[in-house]
A and B are shown apart, each in its own frame.
Chain A
Amino acid sequence: MRYRVGQRVRVAARRHEGHHRTPDYLKDRSGTIERAHGAFTNPETRAYGADGLPLQPLYLVGFAQREIWPDYGGASDDRISVDVFEHWLEDAE
C-alpha cells in the first residue's frame, strides 16, 4: 500500500472510457486517507472478462463536502468518504 492513513491525496483528473468505480464528482479533488482496506481485483479489467489482476490497493478517502460541492448547504465539518483504488490517487501537495 502506497499511502498511509492521514496522508493527503488527490483523485486523478483523467477521463476513463468504460467501466470504472471512481465517481466523476471526485476527480481532481483532494482528500485524506481514512482507511487502507487492502487489495482487491481491478474492476476496470474484470468487467471485461479478465481476472482483475494484479490486485489494486483500495482506500477510504475522506473529502470536505464544501470542497466537493461549492454551494453545499450543510455544516462545515460534513464529510464524504469514498472508496478509491490506488491507481486513481496522486500525492497531494
Chain B
Amino acid sequence: MSDHGHGHDHPHVPIANGAEPPAAARVRALEELLVERGVISREEVRRRIDWLVSRTPADGARLVARAWVDPEFKERLLADPRTAALELGLDPGPSPVVVAVENTETVHHLVVCTLCSCYPRALLGPPPDWYKSLPYRSRAVSDPRGVLREFGVELEGDVELRVLDSTADMRYLVIPRRPAGSGGMAEEELAALVTRDAMIGVRQVALK
C-alpha cells in the first residue's frame, strides 16, 4: 500500500516494456492458487482459452447469410438463435443466451455494453478493442447517430435507431440488411460479405 497524496491508496506499478502488466500478474497469481487448491485445472483453462480464441465472425456470418436466403430459417434464428446455430452445426457456446435482432428499412439496431464488454463471443469471436473502449461505451448510448456517422453509416431521419445495451445475461447479434444487388449471389458468397462490425450494427453490409 502507498499513500501518495492523491486521495486514494494503491500501488502504482510502472509498466515497463515487456514486463507483465499488473492485472495480468494478478490473474496469473489467482490462477496459480485455484490450480493449487484443485478448483480448476490448467488443462481446463487452456481448453477454455483455445475455444474462445478459435471463435470467429465467420460463424455469425453463416447464420446471417442463411437467414437472407431462407425466410423460415430467419424466423427460427429470431425466435431461438441457439437452436438455429446448432442447425447449421455451429457451436453456440456455454451459458449466455443470444438474441438475434433484424435491421430493416425502418429499424436499425446497434449493440453496446456500457458496463463492460458483453458480446456474443461464441458466434463472433473476441470483441474488437474499440467495443471495449470508454468512448464507444458512453457515446453509443448518448450519441449513437454520431457514432454511426464515424463508422460511415448515415441513417435517414425516419429510420428508428434502437440501441441495445447488453447489461446482463443476454448477448445481442444483429442481422444486417442484405445489400441491394446481391440477388443472384449464393449463400457462401453472401456470408463472405457479412462483417463483424455489421453484426454489431456499426456498419452496413456492402458488395465487395
Task: Render B142-175 as a binary contact track against A, CB cut-off 8 A, 1 for contact.
Answer: 1111100000000001111111111111100000
Query: Cβ of B58 < 8 Å from any Cβ of A?
Result: no
Query: Cβ of B114 < 8 Å from any Cβ of A?
Result: yes
Closest to A40 in B: B169
Contact A37 B162 (CB under 8 A): no
Query: Cβ of B115 < 8 Å from any Cβ of A?
Result: yes
Most A CB contacts (10 A, CB to CB) among B162, B167, B170 go to: B167
Task: Render B86-120 as a binary contact track against A, CB cut-off 8 A, 1 for contact.
Answer: 00000000000101000000000000001100000
Given A21-B115, A73-B145, verify A43-B163 contact (CB < 8 Å): no
Which A residues between 55 and 81 are near B, CB-CB below 8 angstroms?
Answer: 58, 60, 62, 65, 68-69, 72-75, 77-81
Question: Which A residues lie within 8 Å of B157 (CB)?
Answer: 75
Determine the interface band of chain A, counting residues with CB < 8 A from chain B.
Answer: 20 to 34
Contact B115 A23 (CB under 8 A): yes
| Bound complex: CA A72 to CA B144 (Å) | 10
Contact A85 B161 (CB under 8 A): no
Question: Which A residues lie within 8 Å of B164 (CB)?
Answer: 60, 80-82
Contact B168 A77 (CB under 8 A): no
| Bound complex: CA A58 to CA B163 (Å) | 18
Given A73-B143, A75-B157, A78-B144, verify A83-B168 contact (CB < 8 Å): yes
| Bound complex: CA A83 to CA B114 (Å) | 11
Most B CB contacts (10 A, CB to CB) among A37, A65, A72, A85 go to: A65
Question: Which A residues lie within 8 Å of B115 (CB)?
Answer: 21, 23
Contact B146 A73 (CB under 8 A): yes
Query: Cβ of B141 < 8 Å from any Cβ of A?
Result: yes
- Top 3 nearest A-B pairs (CB, nearest first) are A83-B168, A82-B165, A77-B160
Interface residues of A (CB under 8 A from B): 21-23, 25, 35, 37-38, 40, 43, 58, 60, 62, 65, 68-69, 72-75, 77-85
Using A23-B165, A75-B161, A78-B161 as known contacts, list a sample of 16 further A-B pairs with CB atoms less than 8 Å apart, ordered by residue number in A. Answer: A21-B115, A21-B168, A40-B169, A60-B164, A65-B163, A74-B161, A75-B159, A78-B144, A78-B145, A78-B162, A79-B160, A80-B141, A80-B164, A82-B165, A83-B169, A83-B170
